[in-house]
Amino acid sequence: MKFINYLQSISEVGKYPLTSLVLFFLFFAALTIWAFKADKKYISNMKDMPFQGDDVV
């Protein structure tokens, strides 16, 4: 049995792609809003974090 046959057996399977698209868009929008509202010092600190330590891996 092919995979598409399994999907066709699920009732209202068409809602899943729309739901995943909406969730992705909401996450992306929230992350974009957070990036613009975040404190610039915090962003700079996170950007430079890998270079602050004296440990060599």
pLDDT band at 3, cuts 50/70/90? confident
Instruction: Specify the number of domains making up the chain.
Output: 1
Question: What pLDDT was estimated at residue 24?
Answer: 98
Taking CA atoms, 37 is separated from 10, 25, 42, 43, 44, in Å, by 42, 18, 11, 11, 14
Confidence (pLDDT) at 40: 92
- Flag whether 20 is in a domain: yes
Is 7 within the bounds of a domain? no
Per-residue pLDDT at 18 exceeds 90: yes
Residue 53 confidence class, pLDDT cut points 50, 70, 90: low
Question: pLDDT tens across 21-47, in order?
Answer: 999 999 999 999 999 999 999 888 888
- Domain span at residue 38 reads 14-50
Q: What is the pLDDT of residue 50?
A: 75
User: Is residue 2 domain-resident?
Assistant: no
